[in-house]
């Protein structure tokens, strides 16, 4: 068989000049297939997948990719034919797969599975293969079918599978995002920020989404199979994101993470000790789907962010402060008090979380009227079931803003989280309750996400609701309340010329110190007012669930006409030290009745005890392949010994987490650890550290390091 001069002009390439009829008559056998899958090759670069720590061909749908095929003889376009078979088959479940035939054509057309020859060299041809922007994502097996007058042959390209992802760079993909800086942030950035605390005391921690690390893509596709949703539905980001919101929690479908809001984390990891998603997803995948213990909302959100970014859906973490958990779909947060103005704890099932972290994913909503695409809330923290499963979203942020709570999915629940009114109900002698006080602007404060291209915090409250008290905001609340379970609320209030609020100086108290607040009363009338204030300070979980009362008391108040009075209030360290739970969260509730007008006064103020940071310092320059020494310093702020302290370190391009069991840290002691790392990736990198300790949680640190190439 003679090799010959070949016209490499593409699809119309003529048969090789020296090819004899006998040569074309022989079977066309595929000798080898090169999927051009190297990280720095054109396929991975053009598809923005070179960051994946994998030697597989990873592509994005709606874009062409290239491949070489070597045959037993030169390909003759006049008598030979070629076809690719792509099969998406479940690896673990029994659901039906997908089979796609890709024909060879002369000219590629958009919106079709097709391929054409773009180069021919002797026995090799280079193909450009067109994929659909609506193809199901997943891991496709590839077979080459070669046809010649002598017959058909199949060449399975095992183990060279093709991984297909969503494509935010493709205008015809529903996840298309038209801003390159946003694509870099919401798809390609593997480090992010998660905000926590209270609206007056916003804490921040760095999270390693690890979406490109080893085994993470496989773990995400394994997770989708657990969703028991037909693979034909894997084309739709609405269904995939809803599925992921159910699968990241383990409440009813053997998902990734088991939630735990109690005090004990035996047999697992404290939620505040995690600093990234890589370890969690690898553990889940390698144990064939055994839930990882334990998580709270920011861990659920961090892992959801990782899975959706890994699959190609632009996603970000969002924190809502004073986030309502409406259990009865009244679209209000209801607090019940007795005749003595004390909170009836077992009647108050609605709660207000100090903060709640969820995700937003970017997509068009072809299943909804026009105008509801864009950012969608996706929340995998198990709070209330939705259509029989613990999941939430995707919920259009624009529908929440306008009070359009009749639009799917779970809009009433998300609306109540950010924009419900807090209503106080008092028990009457006959056992019924009457509405005595409404707070219209306490829920949904300083909704926060990380800025594009920097570590700054951005306030996106305006995307969720109109300015508090504006006509548009009241219309949205009233429109939404018509769909709630108590549509006839809001009777006219009684005389209310006295106001009460609680204020805090600066960034607030540190753990181990005294907490100092002020109660401010204003008399707006031209008459004297007297009242007796009841205060109760309670330790609570950040979810708003109260654990125990630390201190309570009474303060008699006399207010002159038009007077503003500030009453200092202090909680001593020795009063709270034995009561603390995770997050060091406390709530001061103040209630009272104005004697002259019978006006009920009521307010609540959440605050946290700030924890120290871990200080991370790199000693010397960071260079790829060269050992780097890092110093980590920590000061115990408590006059109590910290037992069994464990440090966890990740980042710097490491493919796994490093754990250091330190032991005990003496009261008020300062300690220093020295660790050595070998950076593997050049460029701006972060090194994260967190501390796992029963008595002191939410202690972490981050160092920014520029790693030089070799």
CA pseudo-torsion sign 187, 192, 197, 201: negative
Please state, in angstroms and rounded to a whole number, the distance separating the CA atoms of residues 653 and 270: 24
Does 218 belong to an annotated binding site? no
Q: Is 356 a catalytic residue?
A: yes
Please state, in angstroms and rounded to a whole number, the distance separating the CA atoms of residues 78 and 377: 54
Asked whether 540 and 586 are in contact (CB, 8 A), the reply is yes
Catalytic, out of 220, 297, 317, 693:
297
Spatial neighbors of 373 by CB under 8 A, at least 6 apart, are: 363, 364, 365, 396
Q: How many CA atoms lie within 13 A of 467 on its CB side?
A: 2
Query: What does each C-alpha distance from 388 to 226, 243, 376, 384 come to in angstroms?
Result: 16, 13, 21, 9
Q: Exposure of 321 by Cβ count < 10 A (0-12 exposed, 13-18 middle, 19+ buried)? A: buried
Q: How many CA atoms lie within 13 A of 266 on its CB side?
A: 1
Please state, in angstroms and rounded to a whole number, the distance separating the CA atoms of residues 265 and 102: 52
Distance, C-alpha 328 to centroid of its chain: 26
Backbone angles phi, psi at 234, to 5 degrees: -70, 0
DSSP H or E segment with residue 477: helix 471-481
What is the DSSP-derived secondary structure letter of residue 467?
Answer: P
In sequence order, the β-bridge partners of residue 58 are: 163
Does 7 belong to an annotated binding site? no
Catalytic, out of 356, 392, 437, 700:
356
Does 421 belong to an annotated binding site? yes
Asked whether 640 and 587 are in contact (CB, 8 A), the reply is no
Catalytic, out of 279, 379, 410, 582:
379
Q: Is 379 a catalytic residue?
A: yes
Closest CA to 160 of 34, 263, 253, 44: 34
Structure token digits, residue 558: 């006399």
DSSP H or E segment with residue 148: strand 138-148
Degrees, nearest 5: CA angle 564-200-599: 40
SS3 letters for 290-334? CCEEEECHHHHHHHHHHHHHHHCCCEEEEEEEEEEECCCCCCEEE
Asked whether 32 and 8 are in contact (CB, 8 A), the reply is no
Asked whether 698 and 583 are in contact (CB, 8 A), the reply is yes
Structure token digits, residue 346: 């077992």
Q: How many CA atoms lie within 13 A of 145 on its CB side?
A: 13
Please state, in angstroms and rounded to a whole number, the distance separating the CA atoms of residues 566 and 502: 9
Asked whether 280 and 257 are in contact (CB, 8 A), the reply is yes
DSSP letter string over 353-392? Answer: EEEEEEEEEEE--TTS-TT--EEEEEE-S-SSEETTEE-E
Residue ranges of the binding site for Ca(2+) = 419, 421, 468, 473
- What are the catalytic residues? 297, 356, 379
The annotation places the binding site at: 419, 421, 468, 473
């Amino acid at each position: 068989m003679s090799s010959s001069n070949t016209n490499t002009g593409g699809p119309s390439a003529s048969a090789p000049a020296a090819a004899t009829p006998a040569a074309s008559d022989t079977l066309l056998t595929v000798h080898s297939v090169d999927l051009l899958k190297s990280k720095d090759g054109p396929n991975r670069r053009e598809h923005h997948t070179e960051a994946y720590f994998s030697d597989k061909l990873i592509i994005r749908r709606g874009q062409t990719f290239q491949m070489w095929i070597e045959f037993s003889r030169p390909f003759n376009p006049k008598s030979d034919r070629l076809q690719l078979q792509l099969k998406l088959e479940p690896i673990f479940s029994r659901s039906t797969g997908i089979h796609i035939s890709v024909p060879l054509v002369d000219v590629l057309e958009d919106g079709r599975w097709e391929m054409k020859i773009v180069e021919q060299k002797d026995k090799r041809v280079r193909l450009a293969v067109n994929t659909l922007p609506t193809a199901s994502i997943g891991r496709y097996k590839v077979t080459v079918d070669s046809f010649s007058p002598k017959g058909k042959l199949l060449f399975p390209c095992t183990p060279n599978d093709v991984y297909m992802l969503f494509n935010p760079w493709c205008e015809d993909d529903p996840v298309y995002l038209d801003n390159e800086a946003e694509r870099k942030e919401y798809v390609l950035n593997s480090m992010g920020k998660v905000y926590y605390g209270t609206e007056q005391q916003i804490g921040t921690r760095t999270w390693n989404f690890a979406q490109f690390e080893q085994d993470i893509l496989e773990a995400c596709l394994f997770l989708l199979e657990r969703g028991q949703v037909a693979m034909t539905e894997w084309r739709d980001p609405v269904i995939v994101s809803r599925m992921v919101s159910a699968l990241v929690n383990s409440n009813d479908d053997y998902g990734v993470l088991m939630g735990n809001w109690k005090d004990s984390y035996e047999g697992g990891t404290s939620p505040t000790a995690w600093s990234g998603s890589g370890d969690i997803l690898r553990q889940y995948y390698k144990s064939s789907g055994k839930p990882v213990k334990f998580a709270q909302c920011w861990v659920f959100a961090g892992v959801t962010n990782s899975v959706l970014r890994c699959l190609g859906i632009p996603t970000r973490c969002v924190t809502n402060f004073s986030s309502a958990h409406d259990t009865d779909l009244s679209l209000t947060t209801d607090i019940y008090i007795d005749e003595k103005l004390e909170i009836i704890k077992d009647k108050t099932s609605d709660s207000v979380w100090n903060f709640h972290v969820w995700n937003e994913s970017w997509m068009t909503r072809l299943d909804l009227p026009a105008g509801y695409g864009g950012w969608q809330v996706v929340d995998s923290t198990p709070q209330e079931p939705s259509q029989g499963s613990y999941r939430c979203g995707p919920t259009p942020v624009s529908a929440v803003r306008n009070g359009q709570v009749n639009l799917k999915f779970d809009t009433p629940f998300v609306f109540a989280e950010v924009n419900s009114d807090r209503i106080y109900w008092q028990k009457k002698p006959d056992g019924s309750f009457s509405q005595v006080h409404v707070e219209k602007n306490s829920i949904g404060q300083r909704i926060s996400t990380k800025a594009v291209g920097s570590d700054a915090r951005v306030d996106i409250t305006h995307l969720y609701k109109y300015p508090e008290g504006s006509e548009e905001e009241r219309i949205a609340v009233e429109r939404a309340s018509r769909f709630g379970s108590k549509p006839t609320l809001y009777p006219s209030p009684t005389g209310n010329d006295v106001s009460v609020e609680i204020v805090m100086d600066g960034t607030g108290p540190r753990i181990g110190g005294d907490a100092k607040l002020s109660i401010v009363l204003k008399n707006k009338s031209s008459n004297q007012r007297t009242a007796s204030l009841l205060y109760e300070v309670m330790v609570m979980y950040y979810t708003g669930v109260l654990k125990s009362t630390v201190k309570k008391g009474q303060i008699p108040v006399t207010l002159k006409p038009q007077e503003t009075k500030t009453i200092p209030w202090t909680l001593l360290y020795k009063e709270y030290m034995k009561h603390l739970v995770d997050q060091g969260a406390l709530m001061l509730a103040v209630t009272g009745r104005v004697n002259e007008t019978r006006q009920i006064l009521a307010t609540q103020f959440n605050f946290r005890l700030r924890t120290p940071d871990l200080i991370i310092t790199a000693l010397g320059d960071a260079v790829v392949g060269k050992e780097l020494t890092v110093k980590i310093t920590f000061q115990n702020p408590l006059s109590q010994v910290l037992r069994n302290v464990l440090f966890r370190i990740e980042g710097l391009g490491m493919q796994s987490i490093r754990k250091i069991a330190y032991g005990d840290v003496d009261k008020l002691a300062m300690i220093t650890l020295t660790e050595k790392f070998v950076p593997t990736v050049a460029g701006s990198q972060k090194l994260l550290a967190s501390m796992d300790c029963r008595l002191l949680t939410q202690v972490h640190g981050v160092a920014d390091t520029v790693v030089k190439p070799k």
